[in-house]
Amino acid sequence: MGKIAFIFPGQGAQYIGMAKEISELYPAAADIFERANNALGFDIREMIFHGDDETLTITENTQPAILTASIACLMPLLEAGIKPDYTAGLSLGEYGAHVLAGTFSFEDAVRVVRKRGKYMQDAVPVGLGAMAAILGLSREEVIDICEMAQSAGVIGPANFNCPGQIVLAGETAAIDEAIKIATERGAKRAVLLNVSAPFHCVMLEPAGKKLRTVLEDVAVNPMTIPVVANVTGKVIPSEDQVKDLLVQQVSKSVFWEDSVRTMIDAGVDTFVEIGPGKVLSGFVKKIDRGLRTLNVEDKASLDKTLEILKG
């Protein structure tokens, strides 16, 4: 059997009730919610299990909620003795990867991502920034479109998710212009995303500066599992670089496709998505159909994953 990677989802994967079933079956998962409540000073478990979508989609709630649910879903795998060879996460998910690798304590990570969410939300007044997904064009074509749309304002590629799916971020007028150009160029789809801010572009640099201050007080431990960084798409060579890469990540492109290819080149053939949804599994399949994708978000998906990985 080839190598295994655990991957963690980013913002947008959240839903009410995520990780509830696993937390009811596994005390170690329930304990993660307890630890999150204590670290944050409010009942995030109640928000996740019994709250409303509107509250959960506020960025400063979404980020700690997804991280908590993902780490809760991780616990049964660790208890079963399954440890991956590599780990990575999309945007916010990179913090999940660092908790797994031991770089940060869970408590530190959940406190940091709550502030990260607030800083990202506050960086750009609502309505001034936007994001769009461009489907069916190459990386080169999309970069070219961004250069053409710059006459209308700040714009750049935010996420290189998988072949033929790239997300742009920037000022609303420039995003509208890019959608128009992409449609003219024959994109399969070019659509605005329902997000509250233009993540992963230079407009978020103020958020990165505030995040740097918060990270200064956080202890970084040696990584016990190689972590692949969004900003480089490569394995982080040393824990000395972790904080800087996480600061850059807020306002720079996420190279998710490159990150997955790095793990494939290292011998990974099984990707386990841990936490809500299967968005990353879909990206992995589009990068290489021959890879095995599993996920853990409820009892059924956990049982299937344990059966395959322990078999």
Closest residue by Cα to residue 274 from 74, 137, 126, 81: 74
Residue tagged active-site, from 23, 200, 253, 259: 200
Can you read off the two tokens belonging to residue 166? 């790239």
Residues 6+ apart with CB under 8 A from 287: 162, 163, 257, 260, 261, 264
Q: Collapse the DSSP code of 220 into the 3-class scheme (helix H, G, I; strand E, B; otherwise coil) and give the result.
A: coil
Closest residue by Cα to residue 44 from 21, 22, 16: 16
- b/e burial code for range 245-257 (CB count within 10 A of at least 16 → b): bbbbbbbbbbbbb
Q: How far apart are CA 27 and CA 10, in angstroms?
A: 25
Residues 6+ apart with CB under 8 A from 100: 6, 8, 71, 74, 84, 87, 225
155 in Cβ contact with 172 (< 8 Å)? no
Q: How far apart are CA 7 and CA 251, in angstroms?
A: 21
Q: How far apart are CA 294 and CA 311, in angstroms?
A: 14
Q: How many CB atoms lie within 10 A of CB 50?
A: 11
Q: How far apart are CA 196 and CA 207, in angstroms?
A: 14
Which DSSP symbol is given to 52? Answer: -
Q: How far apart are CA 205 and CA 307, in angstroms?
A: 44
Rounded to an integer, what is the distance from CA 207 to the centroid of its chain?
17
Can you read off the two tokens belonging to residue 172? 């609303």
Task: Please identify which residue in the block is written with the tokens 């991780």.
Answer: 74
281 counts as catalytic: no
Residue tagged active-site, from 23, 70, 91, 259: 91
196 counts as catalytic: no
User: In this structure, which amino acid lies at residue 184?
Assistant: E
> Which residues are marked as active site?
91, 200
